[in-house]
Structure 1
Amino acid sequence: MISTTFHGTRKYARHEPLRRIVGWLGTAGFSLGASVGLSVSSDAANPGQPVVARVEMRFATEDEVVDIISKGDLLTVVEDRGEDYVIVTHEGTRGAVDKVNAVELAESTDIYTELIEEFPDEGRYHTLRASAWWALGKQKEAMDDFNAAIKKGYEEAHAYSSRGLFYAAQGDHDAAIRDYDKALQIDPEDVTPMINRAAVHMAQSEFVKAIEDYSAALEVRQDNAALLRQRAIAHKAAGKLDDAIADFDRIVDMNPKDVAAVMGRGYIRFQQREFAAAASDFSAALELDDQDPVAWNNRGYNRYQLGKSAAALKDYNQAIKLAPNYALAHQNRAWLLATADDESLRDGEAAIESAEKACEINAYGNIGDLSALAAALASVGRFEDAVGWQEKVVELAPEDVKTFAERMLNRYRNEKPYAADPVAAEKSEKEAAEAKANAEAEKKNAAALEEAMKKSSE
């Protein structure tokens, strides 16, 4: 077979001169030297990650202060240069800051605690400390801080939007929806809570509502590939496969090298039983990345559906070469080797080996693997073993496939091999048996008649 959004920083101009950000020397007797003895995490922040200003700092040129960073401000890391970070502020200003003056988000709770004590009526610091608690995995403390911020009257949209994210992560979808609704009520122009609400609708299987939210967001962020991809997934989940294809088409038209979109479209075409088109998409994906075992496996399965078993087998083998523990590729290979219409490709013992490998990888808990193993054993006449594994399949099978599993079990008990359509196979086998019996009867009748005629002539 086939396999959270926070507010971002504004983009900055790359030609903007890089300014040195230094500790602010004019605040209440604070000196930059006082911070030098503080420990700095040995784990540097990666590009794109936020760091927190430990002290108040200034953007400075040779003769003037250009901008000020407040203690507790979030800064986005652009580059790690060893002793300092190149950062960009929320306002889009780019500069360099000594690592001693910035800490990673998970290490910033003490900074925000100091600010909360200094400004007890300022709810914003509670939201920032909540993010730090969350980075530490302390969900209760994070929620307490968000609640405290809102209780103090901090009615900014992002407070509700961020708390909604945390509710969603805890599985409280209804509370998350309420917070996203409130955030949109405060700031209807901000699509971030709308996008996050769509994700919750997806988790609730409310696919139509998710599509509506993604569509509304796309009116603001037109041709946004990430949103188109999410809406395509929602369309697919809602059974609107043509609409999902249209979204993937739009992404690929904008960027023919978007492998994920090509792969996504190929999978939906497979679901539509357009096997040739699906195989074409997976071939295109392989031209972009020939090291992807999923693309090899998926193309192989669609080729198998097209009757190109030899080509499918090569694809499965390549998938396994790239990913030796790729269970689904082993399972597909086992099915092909055990049941291929082309008898020259059949290899029961190799099928058993592949099926057993798939079962081992999935700890004998996947009914597809177990079914393949039973079919492979039956293909070499080991019906007693096939019956044992097929009984396990029947035990694990959901209701929609249990009848088929039971029919296969009866076939193996009757020492008959796997059949994709057991009812048709039984009918065909019955007709063949009757034809054989009739032929034998006619042969016996002819022999008896010949013997009678011989005796009569004598």
Structure 2
Amino acid sequence: MLQALCSLIVTASCLTATLTWTTNASAASPGQPVVARVEMKFATGEEIVDVIAKGDLLTVVEDRGDDYVIVTHDGTRGAVDKVNAVELAESTAIYTELIEEFPNEGRYYTLRASAWWALGKEEKALEDFNTAIEKGYKEAHAYSSRGLFMAARGKHAEAIEDYDRALKIDPDDITPLINRAAVHMGQGEYEKAISDYSDALEVRKNNAALLRQRAIAYKAAGKLDKAIADFDTIVDADAEDVAAIMGRGYIRFQQQEFAAAAADFSAALELNEEDPVAWNNRGYNRYQLGKAEQALADYNHAIELAPNYALAHQNRAWLLATVQDESLRDPQAAIQSAEKACEINSYGNIGDLSALAAAYAAAGNFKDAVGWQEKVVEIAPPDVKTFAEKMLTRYRNEKPYIADPVAAEKAEREAAEAAAAAEAEKKNAAAIREAAAKLEAESKLKSKANANGEVESP
């Protein structure tokens, strides 16, 4: 790809055509496609290095006000006036003109289909995708594009069928392979997704984006060690890949390797100290390591950076309500943090509501703790409803939150049984002493009577 910008030559015949167009009211952002309104040529000196045909898709690199810096399909980098390019959603008229001029060129139907899709006119998009293939446009791109459309509409089987066709036509193009993997991920078929990403990585060795996607698939499949290995490969090649470091840290947290996870989030913060998620995540792992004071500082910093970061407020509430260190425990501040989290999430997040109930219980306000915990029980999914109900019972019994209510119940039961046994033993010992004393008193009386010559009646 040329590093310097090529000069632009617009052909005279096309220049006349552009006079009827007006400059875009909106502008495309970097990474978005725009469509050429006219034929344009890029040249370095006297040499033509690339030709942009009317209707070609160009990728925006930079918006410079009156023009775009773009990259062509072949990798040529240059600048085009905005008057000569239009966003995809505004390009249907261009492709309609091309279809009228070249009615049997299926490629233009595929391109117009993408424009209809960008406009949200799905039925017209599907009609054009199908027409392109009916017109004999059997390139891999025709099926791959329709596959993307089908996947977006939730028609996963049709999407995979189109991707399969595209791969048969052009096995060297891994784009349909990657797109098919994404569909498999959406369907929860993680092993198939892993297989597709692995095949794509055979072509693009150690590609960071593909490794990251495969790591996510491994994570979803429960193969955490393999996910870690993919993130390791990314970080080994680029020690400043924050996304990979963060992803690895989260998996290490799932593996309960809290020290390693905290180290990853610390590394991420060295690269970007303005990331509230990294602060929150490091705080959570520090708390698991028993570093409550440092965890609280991390939560506070996350909230400073993102005042409406609900999860950081929720985590802060849990810490302040349940921490063992009494110098840090602050039930009233916990209530405030939990209420803030609830407000941000419109009182619809079960974690926020649970934290609010626990905070009220920590403050000794069991009436409100019960009220909020009842709401938790109402919305709790089956896998957490039993726990939620146990916590509701604790609050009704005016007992504070505890992470393991089953163990707590067992310990309380065993303590009660031990206390009852001790009390029974105490009473038994007292009874034995009383009986012994009685026997001793009776024995003394009998001895005294014998000494006085008294005879015991038969």
Relative to the length of structure 1, the TM-score reads: 0.89
| CA distance, structure 2, for counterparts of residue 345 and residue 406 of structure 1 | 28
The change in CA–CA distance for 1:99 and 1:313 in structure 2 (over 3 A counts) is closer
- Of residues 121, 126, 147, the one that matches 1:143 is 126
- Of residues 10, 13, 20, the one that matches 2:2 is 13
Structure 1 gap segments, 5+ residues each: 1-11
> Is the CA contact 2:14–2:39 (under 8 Å) kept in the aligned structure 1?
no
Matched, 1:346 2:326: no
- Of residues 228, 232, 249, the one that matches 1:249 is 232
| CA distance, structure 2, for counterparts of residue 337 and residue 61 of structure 1 | 66
- Of residues 86, 92, 102, the one that matches 1:109 is 92
Per-residue CA deviation, residues 131-177 of structure 1 (Å, 9 max, x unaligned), is 21122222221111111100111000011001100111111111000
Per-residue CA deviation, residues 247-281 of structure 1 (Å, 9 max, x unaligned), is 00001001111111111001101111111111111
Q: How does 1:63-82 map to 2 (within 5 A)?
A: 67-82=50-65
Match of 1:39 in 2: 22
Q: How does 1:229-240 map to 2 (within 5 A)?
A: 229-240=212-223
Matched, 1:303 2:291: no
359-368 vs 31-40, greater mean Cα deviation: 31-40
Per-residue CA deviation, residues 74-100 of structure 1 (Å, 9 max, x unaligned), is 223334444333333222334443333
The alignment partner of 1:72 has SS state of coil
| CA distance, structure 1, for counterparts of residue 125 and residue 137 of structure 2 | 16
Match of 1:404 in 2: 387
Per-residue CA deviation, residues 199-250 of structure 1 (Å, 9 max, x unaligned), is 0000000000000000000000111100000000000000000000000000
259-268 vs 68-77, greater mean Cα deviation: 68-77
Match of 1:158 in 2: 141
Structure 2 gap segments, 5+ residues each: 442-458
Per-residue CA deviation, residues 287-322 of structure 1 (Å, 9 max, x unaligned), is 111111111111111111111111111111111111
256-265 vs 341-350, greater mean Cα deviation: 341-350
> Is the CA contact 2:14–2:38 (under 8 Å) kept in the aligned structure 1?
no
The change in CA–CA distance for 1:133 and 1:310 in structure 2 (over 3 A counts) is same
149-158 vs 401-410, greater mean Cα deviation: 401-410
385-394 vs 144-153, greater mean Cα deviation: 385-394
314-323 vs 45-54, greater mean Cα deviation: 45-54
- Of residues 76, 89, 99, the one that matches 1:93 is 76
Match of 1:374 in 2: 357
The alignment partner of 1:239 has SS state of coil
Q: How many residues align?
A: 439
Matched, 1:293 2:272: no
Match of 1:333 in 2: 316
| CA distance, structure 1, for counterparts of residue 360 and residue 63 of structure 2 | 57
Per-residue CA deviation, residues 370-402 of structure 1 (Å, 9 max, x unaligned), is 111111111122112211111111111111211
Match of 1:5 in 2: none
69-78 vs 285-294, greater mean Cα deviation: 69-78
The change in CA–CA distance for 1:410 and 1:84 in structure 2 (over 3 A counts) is closer
| CA distance, structure 1, for counterparts of residue 14 and residue 174 of structure 2 | 42
The alignment partner of 1:20 has SS state of strand
| CA distance, structure 2, for counterparts of residue 31 and residue 434 of structure 1 | 94
| CA distance, structure 1, for counterparts of residue 229 and residue 278 of structure 2 | 21
The alignment partner of 1:131 has SS state of helix
> Is the CA contact 2:92–2:116 (under 8 Å) kept in the aligned structure 1?
yes
> Is the CA contact 1:19–1:94 (under 8 Å) kept in the aligned structure 2?
no
| CA distance, structure 2, for counterparts of residue 387 and residue 83 of structure 1 | 62
The alignment partner of 1:426 has SS state of helix
> Is the CA contact 2:8–2:40 (under 8 Å) kept in the aligned structure 1?
no
Which amino acid is 1:20 matched to?
L
381-390 vs 109-118, greater mean Cα deviation: 381-390
The change in CA–CA distance for 1:365 and 1:71 in structure 2 (over 3 A counts) is same
429-438 vs 396-405, greater mean Cα deviation: 429-438
The alignment partner of 1:251 has SS state of helix
| CA distance, structure 2, for counterparts of residue 348 and residue 327 of structure 1 | 18
The change in CA–CA distance for 1:362 and 1:67 in structure 2 (over 3 A counts) is closer
| CA distance, structure 1, for counterparts of residue 398 and residue 49 of structure 2 | 85
Deviation of 1:31 after TM superposition, in Å, equals 6.3
The change in CA–CA distance for 1:99 and 1:393 in structure 2 (over 3 A counts) is closer
| CA distance, structure 2, for counterparts of residue 341 and residue 245 of structure 1 | 33
Identity across matched positions, percent:
76
The change in CA–CA distance for 1:40 and 1:305 in structure 2 (over 3 A counts) is same
> Is the CA contact 2:6–2:43 (under 8 Å) kept in the aligned structure 1?
no
> Is the CA contact 1:21–1:95 (under 8 Å) kept in the aligned structure 2?
no
The alignment partner of 2:35 has SS state of strand
The alignment partner of 1:155 has SS state of coil
Per-residue CA deviation, residues 31-75 of structure 1 (Å, 9 max, x unaligned), is 624522421213233333322222233345666756543221222
> Is the CA contact 1:21–1:96 (under 8 Å) kept in the aligned structure 2?
no
> Is the CA contact 1:84–1:96 (under 8 Å) kept in the aligned structure 2?
yes
User: Which structure would you say has the larger RCO, counting Cα contacts within 8 Å and 6 or more residues apart?
Assistant: 1
| CA distance, structure 2, for counterparts of residue 63 and residue 362 of structure 1 | 61
Matched, 1:55 2:44: no
- Of residues 253, 261, 265, the one that matches 2:248 is 265
